[in-house]
Amino acid sequence: MELHEQLQRLINLEIYASSLIETKDAMYFLGRRGTEKFVGSVGEGNLVGQKVGELDNKPIIVGPTDHANACAIRNALPWTAPGLVGLKKSIGMGDRLGIATPGHIRAVRSSGLTVLLAQQSIREMTRTGRSPDDVIDSTTWGALQEGFGDGFGSDADHLHTFEDVDSTVEAGFTMFTIDPGQYVDDAAETDDYSILKKKASSIDLSALETTLSDISSRYVGKTFDLGEIAISFDEGTFLRTFVKYARAVGHIVKMYRHLLTVAHKPFEVEVSIDETDSPTTPADHFFIVTEMKRLGVEWIAIAPRFVGRFEKGVDYIGDLDLFRASFAEHVRVMKAMGPYKISIHSGSDKFSIYPIAAELAGEYLHVKTAGTSYLEALRVIAAVEPDLFREIFDFALQCYETDKATYHVSANIEKIPPIDTITNDRLPGLIDDFNARQVLHVTYGSVLTAQNGEKFRSKILTTLKQYEELHYTNLEKHLRRHVKGLIGKDVSAL
């Protein structure tokens, strides 16, 4: 009889065979009874729980999968805690529901990609009612369940304030994505010369530790030969770049220096300037990284705002040849000024650009995807609980106009077929409709939070736990398409 089967008989708990891990002091495992999961140990472990039996004269302790026991597991099994990722090609997989990690692991296993399993923005945490601790803990349980000892990273995404930094540092995140988007002046793209001059003279440069005269003298009239690309600044180019990004760079510096004061272990930084209206030019990119270097900021990835439309939930919208040419220029700047990774945000199903990015950036590439996992969860709901899915969809339609405000989307709800005309067997296919997909993608917060009296959240979680393997299978199948695009081959063939 297998060990997990022996344990199951002793304690009436369905044990995940892959989770049985031995240390010098104890053996740990994860199990479930119904839809509830428990963590256990055999021997002198450090879990908080109750003795429920003995195996080979060693006590069997079973306890809840709560924060205290997640900390205990991370202490006993360090590979269940996130670590540093470095410059290896990587993919971040966000989990808005807190139960997707096993599916994420199955999608990347044997791919050669480094995975960041605990990836969530403060915006997403707020909208789903989750805390930084919740995000880290859920990946710990997923890693234990799958016996995933390859290591993984974590990403405190789109951080705007010192408070954002403090809470995610305390929870144990290892990568911090600084988002200075609110300080980017998109109007600088179209401002005339006189307005640019006026704006430039009013910018507080204390965080940049320079003066307008000094910083101008370092760029204006200069051409920077970067080998594969040359960046030139006449006065107009400099003013446009400076006005657009000077305050943003100052915010990056402040956030980075705050991180240095509060972090109690090594960390990594990504800089995100992707959620802006206008594309980042090679000159913009060069200016930002040059100033960050001058001011002592260290980073492993930068997310420019690329040409084209990076809307949520759908593939890239734009000219692929133009994207290739623009992306190649960013890679040239990166190679001269780095190396560091070029990061693609809003990576939910940007399948058409993955081969281009992988070819041009090589190992220096990071992709983030989050909402697509939530959509795959809803696909399961549509298949097994069609009435619940219909309720969720009707509710999402009501919330769309409000919820879309902070996202780049263009769904037209008038083009979505009335859901009462769609038969149950065709409901999962609605997830693939461009307009319906975006509606569901950006309304997750309204659907999942307590604002609606937990009308949907508990039902969604209960259903997905009941159909756990179907949920994991859907995630693995869909996310392997992302992996294939990034490594150029199907993981299942490895």
Q: Which residues are catalytic?
A: 157, 270
d(CA 457, CA 235): 54
Task: Yes or no: say if 26 and 43 are a contact pair by the CB < 8 Å rule.
Answer: yes
Residue written as tokens 């640019």?
196
d(CA 148, CA 81): 11
Tokens of 56: 């080979």
d(CA 87, CA 272): 16
CB atoms within 10 A of CB 24: 6
Residue written as tokens 């002046």?
185
Closest CA to 113 of 479, 376, 373: 479
Task: Yes or no: say if 357 and 365 are a contact pair by the CB < 8 Å rule.
Answer: yes
Q: Which residues, in sequence order, are CB contacts of 294 under 8 Å at separation 6+?
A: none
H/E element, 367:
strand 365-369
d(CA 436, CA 445): 16
Q: How many CA atoms lie within 13 A of 26 on its CB side?
A: 22
Q: Which residues, in sequence order, are CB contacts of 224 under 8 Å at separation 6+?
A: 230, 231, 232, 286
Q: 94 has which bridge partners?
A: 119
d(CA 51, CA 61): 4
Spacing of C-alpha 189 from chain mean position:
29
Closest CA to 385 of 331, 459, 436, 279: 459
d(CA 388, CA 396): 12
H/E element, 29:
strand 26-33
* Phi, psi of 363, rounded to the nearest 5 degrees: -75, -20
Task: Yes or no: say if 392 and 381 are a contact pair by the CB < 8 Å rule.
Answer: yes
| DSSP single-letter state for residue 280 | P
DSSP string, 121-187: EHHHHHHHT--HHHHHHHHHHHHHHHT--S--EEEEEEE-SHHHHHHHHHHT--EEEE--GGG--GG
Sign, Cα dihedral of 443, 449, 455, 459: positive
Closest CA to 219 of 192, 239, 199, 201: 239
Q: What is the dihedral of CA 490, 309, 89, 71, to 10 degrees?
A: -100
